[in-house]
Amino acid sequence: MSIDMSQFYQTFFDESFEGLEAMEAGLLGLDVGAADEETVNTIFRAAHSIKGGSATFGFSAVAEFTHIMETLLDEMRAGERLVTEPAVDLLLVSVDCLREMLTAVKEECDIDTDRVSKVQKDLEVLLRGDSVEAEEPEATSEAVNDEGEKTNDTVWQIDFKPFDYLLTTGNDPVRLLRELSALGKYSVKIKFDGLPLFESFEPESSYLAWEISVSGDIKKDQIEEIFDWVEDDCELSIAEFESESKPKEEVVPASAVENSTPEKVLASEAEEAGPESNVVDE
């Protein structure tokens, strides 16, 4: 039995329109140059929530558009981009555009794709051409790339066990895994310990847990943001993983796995009868 996601639509739209109001108010109150960090964080988190909800409910156009806004805001709050008047003006235009997109989706009307494409293109141009030099981040662990140069890659170990009711909140673990896989090199192991016998199985309950490893130039707060929507609905542990102690036999070369996605990993490993799956790298 599948879950009727439409029952959560109204809550999503209500919270999204409130988020847009918060974004607009924050942008109007920003000081050009040295912007208030708390205000930028508030604007960013509102965009992040709208993007996450849109992805959950399958509103891909809204999620894609908001992701670009989120990227621009993330650079501002990380100090990698100055808060300039053109950037603020464009973000205000983007908020208006996003409001129109959400209204169209809510009313089941066509989105004005011409307007969306124009604003999205302007955002992409700004992202490419109006950045400032960022300070070198402090390296938490060092890795070596193919050219023998040191990088600032960090390996993060994530243990994620949703509470059994997670699916009924409209959240999907696969979406979270997909977002994690976009951060860097990624591997996942599914734990079937909590899987009940068939006669006790509840279709709307979550029984699986995941051990995830992701590596790259990744900050802990980037991972925490992915789990913002479910932090009260799961057991979650995020820790830096020392590469020296990583068992080599757990790693499968990326070349050995073709077309591997979180969804395919879930599907293929669920067919196995063993209590735990092997690691799959992406």
- The confidence score (pLDDT) of residue 254 equals 42
* DSSP at 210: E
Percent of the chain with pLDDT over 90: 33
Reported as a pLDDT band with limits 50, 70 and 90, residue 205 is confident
Query: What would the pLDDT profile of 152-164 be if each residue is shown by its tens digit?
Result: 688 999 999 999 8
Reported as a pLDDT band with limits 50, 70 and 90, residue 133 is very low
Mean pLDDT, residues 260-280 taken together: 50
* Phi, psi dihedral angles at 280 (to 5 degrees): -125, 125
Give 150's strand partners: 144
Reported as a pLDDT band with limits 50, 70 and 90, residue 14 is very high
Helices (H), 107-149: 113-129
- The confidence score (pLDDT) of residue 72 equals 92
- The confidence score (pLDDT) of residue 202 equals 86
Highest mean pLDDT among 29-38, 52-61, 124-133: 52-61
Q: What's domain 5-129's architecture?
A: Up-down Bundle (1.20)
Query: What would the pLDDT profile of 208-219 be if each residue is shown by its tens digit?
Result: 899 998 888 899
Query: What would the pLDDT profile of 219-267 be if each residue is shown by its tens digit?
Result: 998 899 889 878 889 999 999 876 444 444 344 444 444 444 555 545 5
- The confidence score (pLDDT) of residue 44 equals 92
- The confidence score (pLDDT) of residue 84 equals 87
Contacts of 23 (CB under 8 A, 6+ apart): 43, 46, 47, 91, 95
Mean pLDDT, residues 112-124 taken together: 93
- Segments of the chain assigned to CATH 1.20.120.160: 5-129
* DSSP at 250: G
For the whole model, what pTM was predicted? Answer: 0.48
- The confidence score (pLDDT) of residue 119 equals 94
Strands (E), the chain: 143-144, 150-151, 154-162, 185-191, 209-216, 234-240, 280-281
> By three-state DSSP, how is residue 262 classified?
helix
Q: How far apart are CA 211 and CA 269, in angstroms?
A: 14
- The confidence score (pLDDT) of residue 94 equals 95
- The confidence score (pLDDT) of residue 5 equals 62
Higher-confidence position of 72 and 190: 72
Query: What would the pLDDT profile of 62-109 be if each residue is shown by its tens digit?
Result: 999 999 999 999 998 888 888 888 899 999 999 999 999 999 999 999
Mean pLDDT, residues 3-27 taken together: 85
Task: Say what the alpha-carbon torsion angle 187, 193, 198, 201 is, to the nearest 10 degrees.
Answer: -80
Instruction: Quote the mean pLDDT of the chain.
Output: 78
- The confidence score (pLDDT) of residue 264 equals 53
- The confidence score (pLDDT) of residue 261 equals 52
Using an 8 Å Cβ cutoff, are 212 and 180 in contact? yes
- The confidence score (pLDDT) of residue 250 equals 42
- The confidence score (pLDDT) of residue 1 equals 47
Using an 8 Å Cβ cutoff, are 16 and 50 in contact? yes
